[in-house]
A and B are shown apart, each in its own frame.
Chain A
Amino acid sequence: MLNSVEDIIRGCRQKDPGAQRSLYEMFSSRMYGVCLRYCGSRDDAQDILHEGFLKIFEKIRQFEFRGSFEGWIRRIMVNTALERYRNQNKFVSIRDDSIEDYEKPEDFDISEDITAKELMEMIEDLSPQYRMVFNMYAIEGYSHKEIAELLGITEGTSKSNLSRARVILQEKIKEFYKQIDKIGIKYEKVGSNR
């Protein structure tokens, strides 16, 4: 499989259309998932996927077979999304609080029966700045210093936005479980009526 990916990369370096198509088919779904996480709409996600793959094909000579190729592609997609959001949303800081001001999420139990699609919908509902910081910190593994540099905000704002995003997501999860419970009760009631 590794040789196959290497062959595709080498083909892409030669601008081989077949190799480019293969690369797209291999990674487009995973990268589309990444794009959706960073975007508020599917149209935006598709634009970033489009722009990101063009960059990948353009810059693929820079990949030197060191480290993960998927990580390299993923970085391009994330950077493309960040660039787009910087230009579109201008990243106005909501707060620049100190760490002590964080609203810490309450502890609660989480079952594992939430689907990826439902989780994605919750992230999409976040405001752009919360969504970006949460994605970068919680899922991509960026440090607050790196997030601050990339988004042009302070580290304190990054931490504050992350905290707020967690609280909002926690509320959404609670709300989700409440809906599940209601649906379950309804089912029981319907069943008991029969």
Chain B
Amino acid sequence: MMMKIKGIGILTLSIMLCLGSCKDKVYNKYLANSPIYTSFEDFRKSIQMESPHELTVKGNIYLKDDYLFITEPDKGVHIIDNSNPSAPNNIGFLKITGNTGIVIKGNYLYANALIDLVVIDISNINAPKEVARLKDIFPNTIPLPTYNTDYPIAKIDKMLGIVTSFEVKEVKQDVDDTYNNCYGCELTTNTGVIATADGGNFTNNNGQQQGVSGSITKMTLIDNYLYIMENNKLIPIDISNPFEPKNSEGVYIWRTVETLFAAQNHIFMGTTNGMLIYETSNPNSPTQKSVINHVEACDPVVVQGNYAYVTVRSGNTCAGTLNQLDVIDITDLSSPILKESFQFINPHGLGIDGTNLFICDGSAGLKVLDATNPLTSGNQLIKTFDNIQATDIIPFNNIAIVIGDDGIYQYDYSDIQNLTLLSTINF
């Protein structure tokens, strides 16, 4: 009998010990895109030059000297020898996991690599070499590899590494039982906080020093500073020493910034509801100088002389109903004035070279305008090229590099009335 009593005592003690850990466990189980991680170590070893890849999707383009750089979103950069625009030669693929855009200054290519910024020496274009890296300067960047849209994205634990792909499987998501938990909040990490620093800069005032990009970009250069938009934060990076870039804290921009353009030591930001001008007298801490508002829409911007040209577009992810070209007088950067607006069909990217203003007008084709007088430029149509369905363009030295839906086209526009197709690089 004593043995039985002892047994009961032991059982009681066991239950009492269990008391401390007795609590409800609540979790959701669902099929979701479960992240597959690559360790930080492997991720940071991933930059390497590979043999040429075929272009598969539309990316941003960047022109530097005789080379054309085309980003393959999240994967890297195609390097094209464009010394002969009639016969571009794909010489290799620079693998940069998580990359969406680049800028080049001198012999150094600056690229976002998901959460890092990397500096790559391209003095030998056939053997690029990483020379510096700023780690974790884009901590909120979340990659968006291809995933099954029929299912949500499971919670991403940034401590486990870099998400390089997803697989659909059942996942468990703990639910905090202390309040009415917001189901789905843990599933929506793929929305709203994706940084897409893409493209390069259109400035070319340093001749061979820096490259040229399209108008749709979130990276720009002013002297020795690289500016990158990450979500709602503009991050200045001192690149005076490419081997030791230094980032500043950055400034928050309380608008949705889509494009950056540098001119006259100022940053022109195309946002969804207006254009902001930031001055950079203190390059580590740009401050807003002025703003000019418009209704909700997408709006790339380029600047030449005393005028900024802004295409305002609606449709798809762009809200609003406007489709127009705005010409803004920026003679006084503190007080920009909207001078004229011209109606277009669905204007996307734009570019300007001398007096030639190129507007990628969606399905309406590529339109070339005479911008000799900026205030009438929208009405001075030189020619419409209906067959060119473009979203962005780099016009430079009589060669227009055009991003279409199915490839990159290069046109000779030395005879502006008669654009001549030189070559096509298909996606």
Q: Do A and B come from one complex?
A: no
- Chain A residues engaging chain B, CB cutoff 8 angstroms: none
